[in-house]
Amino acid sequence: MTKIKICGITRTEDALFACLSGADALGFNFSQSSPRFVTPDAARKIIAEMPPLVTTAGIFVEQTPDEISDLCSYCGLQVAQLHSDAYTPEHALRVRGAKVIRVFRPRPEFRLEEVREFADATGCNAFLFDAYSPVMAGGTGESIGHSTAIGLFDRTRDFAWALLAGGLTPGNVGEAVRLVRPWGVDTASGVESAPGIKDPLKTKAFIEAVRDADRALRSCV
Residue 191 belongs to a domain with what CATH number? 3.20.20.70
- CA distances 152 to 12, 45, 111, 147, Å, are 34, 37, 10, 9
pLDDT in tens, 111-128: 889 999 999 999 999 999
Q: Please provide the average confidence, as pLDDT, over all residues in the chain.
A: 93
pLDDT greater than 70 at residue 221: no
pLDDT of residue 132: 54
pLDDT greater than 70 at residue 103: yes
Say what percent of the chain tops pLDDT 70. 95
Residue 112 CA, chain-centre distance (Å), reads 19
The structural domain count of the chain equals 1
pLDDT in tens, 11-58: 999 999 999 999 999 999 999 999 999 999 999 999 999 999 999 999
pLDDT greater than 50 at residue 135: no
| Host domain of residue 143 | 3-220
pLDDT greater than 80 at residue 142: no
Name the pTM for this structure.
0.93
Query: 184: which residues sit within 8 A by CB, 6+ positions away?
Result: 2, 3, 4, 5, 24, 25, 161, 162, 163, 164
Residues with a catalytic annotation lie at: 7, 130
pLDDT of residue 145: 79
Q: Of 31 and 136, which is predicted with more confidence?
A: 31
pLDDT of residue 133: 53
- CA distances 107 to 5, 59, 85, 130, 133, Å, are 23, 20, 11, 10, 8
Say what percent of the chain tops pLDDT 90. 86
pLDDT in tens, 57-97: 999 999 999 999 999 999 999 999 999 999 999 999 999 99
d(CA 111, CA 88): 15
pLDDT of residue 134: 47
pLDDT greater than 80 at residue 139: no
pLDDT in tens, 163-185: 999 999 999 999 999 999 999 99
Please answer whether residues 181 and 217 qualify as being in contact, where contact means their C-beta atoms are separated by less than 8 angstroms.
yes
